[in-house]
């Protein structure tokens, strides 16, 4: 799979920031902004890691995570979830559904890079 990450996020400033951070760290970053077609994008070329926003147009990140974990092709891909809502119930649901890490926006550049590195070492 290589060092390819798929960022499923609809906020342009977040897309730009994470793409910049990870590109500088040697990642090839692909992006997708629509929850409805996110699984098609993942299945077309499964990445080494997925960064998934909770609130997306079309379908929620939680629904997409359920699909990822229920599909033999994608069930083992590490998923880091992002949300602007840092409520404990959202974190608990994400982890119950199989997220490897849950990060609340805003985040620091170093935090994103370090957690991506940690997930890929696991």
Q: Are strands 101-104 and 49-53 parallel, antiparallel or unpaired?
A: unpaired
Give the distance from CA 49 to its chain's centroid: 7
What share of the chain in percent tops pLDDT 90?
Answer: 90
pLDDT digits (tens, 9 = 90+) for 77-110: 999 999 987 788 999 999 999 999 999 988 999 9
CA distance 82 to 75: 19
Q: What is the pLDDT of residue 85?
A: 78
Q: How many structural domains comprise the chain?
A: 1
Q: What is the pLDDT of residue 115?
A: 95
For residue 83, the cross-strand partners are 104
Q: What is the pLDDT of residue 2?
A: 62
| pLDDT higher than threshold 50 for residue 31 | yes
CATH number of the domain where residue 30 is located: 3.40.50.2300
Residue 31 structural domain: 4-121
| pLDDT higher than threshold 50 for residue 16 | yes
Q: What integer best gives the mean pLDDT of the chain? A: 95
């Amino acid at each position: 799979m290589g060092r390819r990450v798929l960022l499923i996020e609809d906020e342009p400033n977040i897309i730009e920031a994470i793409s910049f951070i990870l590109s500088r760290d040697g990642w090839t970053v692909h992006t997708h902004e629509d929850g409805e077609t996110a699984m098609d994008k993942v299945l077309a070329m499964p990445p080494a890691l997925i960064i998934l926003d909770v609130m997306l147009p079309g379908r929620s990140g939680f629904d997409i995570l359920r699909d990822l974990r229920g599909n033999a092709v994608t069930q083992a891909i590490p998923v880091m979830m992002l949300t602007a809502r840092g409520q404990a119930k959202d974190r608990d649901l994400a982890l119950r559904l199989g997220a490897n890490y849950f990060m609340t926006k805003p985040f620091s550049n170093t935090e994103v890079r370090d957690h991506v590195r940690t997930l890929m070492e696991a």
